[in-house]
């Protein structure tokens, strides 16, 4: 089998539509790549090898980011979501101490910056031509006991020779299932013991790279860090039942171990530390955000609570420069370890997890009559289309707080079960009540995957994918600066609670979202599931106009739009969807109403490329399986040139430099990286090189409609409609004889003609015109009653539309004197029909 070096594969795994041409069904070639709102190009493919080290890239590719290694080198980093013997063991990752890890790897790939910057926009060759080097992000690792990990030992007192996911608090190693052959009616048991490593990093999923001082001098982390966590649980698959046929299971064994590692990498020194203060229950993603205070860090902790349900949405609050005992750490003391100095100055030794909770009144408002911490109340709210879309909440801790490496606790003895403890009697035993006074944790299914923080670094808010329900929530800690240090009645140096305003951006109910596919996203014919060849406008398999199992999430902010890039993980036989949502940066509502933009699809058990047994890298096809896009990262600041043609330097991009550059450029100049997990393409080089499951890392851009939303309101007194681009004006009028209807259309950011607004002092309505002659005439004739109010934005004039633009029709009511504007042909026809007083004035302008 031919060996390919990193970046040599050029065929794409993402598809624009189902393959329906023979040229799209060739091994080693791409399918349909005529993407409607995006452009993709391959950076690397799982199974490719470093030409010097001969080490392969492993999969599934998952959490990813990029930064400058130096002023001439872009470093792309991704971690592989791998499960060792639960899937396929990867080759050993060897640390300085000699300990070997199989399972997940964290790969760093370095590219020439100039070539990386022009990679999407030119017709250059494969990414291998800009490849410089690859390796791992760290080569030293510390475990949950605070010890630098060395080769495995069964000696209980030797805590350095242990990894937490198979070790009890007393240092006892719990070996994985040894396996057994089938006997009579008893099925065979697979041998789950490791052969490629002493231990395994279990399923590194979403990750986050954070620069020091991102939110201002001394605010945020003190060092550049990479955050990640092992996810989910490993019990029922990896551990034998401790008492034979039950009632205990492998899951109970796992709960008695130290759980799953929450980890932070000191990027500069290439050292990874397990940070049990963040929790031992497994996370999809650990996401830092603005704490508003130099002495505290704030981190969103998404999923999985060791697969123990239910639990609330969670954040971590950590106090910087304090040890686990609540005392200051002296950064200059030679008696304090580098481990504790690093963790303390980044707020990761002394802190606590906080969960979202509501009071009885709020539960009632949301339509939840039976308040029960044992039930998935948040899920019920998120699928109730008629429930209110905003509410207030508080984040409270349980009584558990990690108190140091010297007093290790099994994961079952941490906070994981306490979220649901509300004083019930369970199996005849009355449980403790861990609910905050006057509040109950707003518990839900713990499959809540990626979150993304507001790129505006002055804000303290984030958006959360609720994977289990298909909902999308925005959480705003507006009072964080006042509360995080001052709200401390128990005097433990941590806030008693944090207040939050919550916005439901999308419900999980059918009808919550449809995608504009740009005439792509075709789902292949299936007589049972897709007889009419429906497209990715809806989730075909679920037959639902909504998000289904949203996973990857990135909030990107440009000079002309706020955009969410979302990836689903739903088992979609017709191809998982990657799509973009434009949101109002103030209200977080989706623009235009409940419509997103399809970017790409991939995989599926019924995918024609899979059925034809072809792969992007020839020979890698293994089986027809589902796929998953799994996260994106904005690299715009790394590739943008200044007016003099030079790049921004490492020093210029420190702190929030990345965000400032990104937000100064329009969306069509933004460049992203992303990953795709393509398990069906796990044979060939992937299998041969012990790379586990296949996938790709790619560079991409998006081109969706942007600009200024025009809000439409209905005047309940005279029946007219009011149009405005001003959010404050919209909100001030809503409820004052006006009801908010929707976004009527968006003014294009690159329109060439000014759109002028006039107020009709007689009828009370407004007139919009892009006709300079009409504007001048109206200003010169004040007797018309039309008063000039200025430029509302930019459009294309009626006679100068560009390809892809939309006409806005202008109508006049001779009886009321009002003008009306609409992009809806059906509405236009209805108004003009019958004995209406409306007169058609043609296309007013184009957007």
Question: What digits encode the pLDDT tens for the residues 301-345?
Answer: 999 999 999 999 999 999 999 999 999 999 999 999 999 999 999
Asked if the model's pLDDT at residue 749 lies above 80, the reply is no
Segment (H or E) for 797? strand 786-797
Query: Which whole number is the average pLDDT over 695-718?
Result: 90
Asked if the model's pLDDT at residue 697 lies above 70, the reply is yes
pLDDT at 835: 67
Q: Characterize the bridge pairing of strands 351-358 and 314-319.
A: antiparallel
Give pLDDT tens digits for 6-63. Answer: 999 999 999 999 999 999 999 999 999 999 999 999 999 999 999 999 999 999 999 9
pLDDT at 429: 85
Helices (H) and strands (E) in the chain, counts: 14, 43
**Which comes out higher in pLDDT, residue 802 or 318?**
318
Q: Which two tokens stand for residue 623?
A: 């089986």
> What DSSP letter does each residue of 529-591 carry, written as one string?
TBTT--BTTSBTTTTBSS--SEEEEEEEE-SS-EEEEEEE-S--TT-EEEEEEEE-TTT--EE
Query: Which whole number is the average pLDDT over 532-561?
Result: 94
* Residue matched to tokens 């620069």: 211
- pLDDT bin (cut points 50, 70, 90) of residue 1 is low
Asked if the model's pLDDT at residue 499 lies above 70, the reply is yes
d(CA 779, CA 777): 6
Asked if the model's pLDDT at residue 578 lies above 90, the reply is yes
Q: What percent of the chain has pLDDT over 70?
A: 100
Give pLDDT tens digits for 56-112. Answer: 999 999 999 999 999 999 999 999 999 999 999 999 999 999 999 999 999 999 999
The whole-chain average pLDDT of the chain stands at 94
Nearest to 567 by CA among 449, 666, 463: 449
pLDDT at 247: 84
Would you call the peptide bond into 60 cis, given omega within 30 degrees of 0 as the criterion? yes
- pLDDT bin (cut points 50, 70, 90) of residue 553 is very high
Angle subtended at Cα 579 by Cα 578 and Cα 583, rounded to the nearest 5 degrees: 150
pLDDT at 742: 79
d(CA 429, CA 422): 13
Query: Which whole number is the average pLDDT over 120-134?
Result: 92
SS (HEC) of 328-360: ECCCCCCCCCHHHHHHHHCCCCCEEEEEEEECH
Partnered with residue 242 across adjacent β-strands are none
Q: Which two tokens stand for residue 472?
A: 């999308």
Cβ burial of 231 (10 Å; 0-12, 13-18, 19+) is buried
Segment (H or E) for 808? strand 807-813
pLDDT at 2: 63
Decide if 212 contacts 220 (C-beta within 8 A): yes
pLDDT at 725: 83
pLDDT at 469: 97
Q: Which two tokens stand for residue 447?
A: 């499959």
d(CA 598, CA 413): 44
Q: Which long-range contacts (CB under 8 A, 24 or more apart) does 581-587 make?
A: 581/513, 582/704, 582/705, 582/706, 583/505, 584/709, 584/727, 585/456, 585/557, 586/727, 587/503, 587/727
Beta strands in 679-770 (DSSP E): 695-702, 708-715, 721-724, 738-747, 753-760, 766-769
Give pLDDT tens digits for 161-179. Answer: 999 999 999 999 999 999 8
d(CA 847, CA 102): 54
> What DSSP letter does each residue of 20-86 carry, written as one string?
-SGGGS-TTS------SSEEEEEEEETT-B-TTT-PBP-SSEEEEEEEEEETTEEEEEEEE---GGG
Least confident of 316-325, 716-725, 797-806: 797-806
Query: Which whole number is the average pLDDT over 538-544?
Result: 94
Give pLDDT tens digits for 423-472. Answer: 998 788 899 999 999 999 999 999 999 999 999 999 999 999 999 999 99
> 137: which DSSP letter?
S
């Amino acid at each position: 089998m031919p060996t390919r070096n990193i970046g040599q594969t050029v065929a794409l795994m993402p598809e624009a539509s189902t393959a329906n041409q023979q040229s799209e069904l060739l091994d080693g070639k791409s399918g349909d790549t005529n993407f409607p709102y995006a452009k993709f190009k391959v950076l690397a493919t799982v199974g490719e090898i470093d030409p010097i080290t001969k080490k392969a890239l492993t999969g599934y590719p998952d959490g990813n980011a990029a930064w400058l290694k130096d002023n001439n080198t872009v470093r792309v980093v991704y971690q592989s979501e791998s499960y060792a013997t639960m899937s396929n063991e990867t080759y050993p990752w060897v640390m300085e101490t000699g300990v070997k890890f199989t399972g997940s790897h964290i790969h760093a790939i370095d590219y020439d910056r100039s070539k990386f910057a022009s990679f999407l926009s030119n017709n250059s060759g494969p990414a291998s031509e800009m490849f410089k080097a690859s390796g791992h992000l760290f080569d030293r690792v510390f475990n949950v006991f605070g010890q630098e990990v060395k080769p495995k030992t069964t000696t209980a007192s030797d805590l350095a020779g242990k990894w937490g996911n198979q070790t009890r608090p007393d240092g006892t190693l719990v070996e994985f299932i040894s396996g057994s052959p089938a006997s009579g009616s008893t099925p065979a048991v697979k041998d789950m013991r490791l052969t490629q490593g002493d231990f395994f990093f279990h399923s590194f999923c979403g990750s986050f790279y954070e620069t020091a001082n991102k939110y201002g001098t001394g605010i945020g982390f003190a060092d550049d860090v990479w955050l990640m966590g092992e996810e989910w649980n490993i019990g029922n698959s990896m551990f034998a039942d401790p008492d034979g046929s039950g009632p205990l299971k492998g899951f109970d064994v796992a709960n008695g171990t130290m759980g799953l590692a929450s980890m932070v990498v000191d990027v500069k020194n290439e050292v990874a530390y397990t940070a049990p203060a963040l929790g031992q229950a497994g996370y999809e993603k650990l996401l830092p955000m603005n704490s508003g205070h130099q002495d505290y860090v704030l981190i969103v902790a998404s999923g999985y609570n060791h697969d123990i349900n239910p639990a609330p949405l969670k954040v971590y609050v950590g106090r910087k420069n304090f040890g686990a005992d609540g005392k200051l750490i002296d950064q200059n003391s030679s008696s304090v370890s580098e481990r504790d100095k690093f963790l303390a100055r980044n707020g990761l030794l002394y802190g606590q997890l906080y969960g979202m909770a509501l009071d009885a009144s709020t539960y009632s408002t949301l339509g939840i009559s039976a308040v029960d911490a044992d039930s998935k109340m948040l899920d019920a709210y998120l699928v109730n289309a008629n429930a209110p879309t905003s509410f207030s909440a508080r984040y409270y801790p349980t009584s558990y707080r990690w108190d140091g490496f010297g007093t290790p606790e099994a994961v079952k003895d941490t906070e994981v079960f306490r979220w649901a403890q509300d004083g019930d009697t369970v199996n005849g035993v009355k449980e403790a009540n861990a609910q905050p006074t006057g509040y109950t944790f707003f518990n839900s299914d713990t499959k809540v995957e990626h979150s993304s923080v507001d790129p505006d670094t002055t804000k303290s808010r984030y958006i959360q994918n609720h994977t289990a329900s298909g909902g999308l929530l925005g959480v705003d800690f507006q009072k964080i600066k006042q509360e995080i240090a001052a709200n401390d009645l128990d005097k433990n140096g941590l806030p008693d609670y944090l207040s939050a305003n919550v916005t439901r951006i999308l419900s999980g109910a059918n009808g919550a979202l449809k995608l504009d596919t740009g005439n792509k996203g075709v789902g292949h014919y299936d007589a049972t599931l897709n007889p009419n060849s429906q497209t990715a406008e809806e989730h075909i398999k679920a037959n639902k106009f909504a998000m289904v199992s949203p996973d990857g999430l990135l909030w990107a902010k440009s000079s002309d739009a706020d955009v969410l890039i979302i990836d689903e993980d739903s088992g979609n036989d017709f191809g998982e969807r990657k799509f973009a949502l434009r949101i109002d940066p103030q209200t977080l509502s989706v623009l235009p109403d409940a419509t997103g933009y399809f970017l790409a699809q991939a995989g599926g058990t019924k995918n024609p490329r899979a059925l034809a047994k072809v792969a992007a890298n020839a020979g890698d096809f293994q089986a027809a399986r589902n796929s998953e896009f799994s996260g994106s990262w904005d690299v715009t600041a790394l590739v943008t040139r200044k007016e003099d043609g030079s790049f921004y330097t490492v020093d210029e991009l420190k702190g929030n430099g990345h965000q400032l550059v990104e937000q100064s450029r329009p969306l069509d100049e933004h460049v992203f990286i992303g990953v795709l997990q393509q398990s069906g393409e796990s044979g060939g080089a992937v299998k041969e090189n012990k790379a586990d499951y296949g996938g790709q890392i790619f560079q991409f851009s998006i081109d969706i409609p942007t600009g200024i939303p025009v809000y439409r309101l209905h005047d309940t007194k005279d029946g007219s409609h009011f149009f405005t681009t001003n959010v404050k004006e919209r909100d001030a009028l809503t409820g004052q004889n006006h009801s908010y209807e929707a976004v009527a259309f968006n003014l294009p950011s690159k329109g060439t003609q000014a759109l002028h607004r006039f107020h009709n002092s007689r009828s009370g309505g407004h007139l919009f015109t892009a006709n300079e002659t009409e504007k001048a005439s109206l200003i010169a004739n004040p007797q018309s009653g039309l008063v000039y109010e200025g430029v509302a934005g930019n459009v294309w004039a009626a006679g100068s539309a560009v390809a892809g633009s939309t006409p806005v029709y202008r109508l006049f009511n001779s009886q009321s004197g009002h003008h009306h504007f609409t992009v809806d042909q059906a509405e236009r026809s209805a108004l003009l029909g019958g004995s209406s007083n409306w007169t058609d004035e043609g296309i007013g302008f184009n957007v």
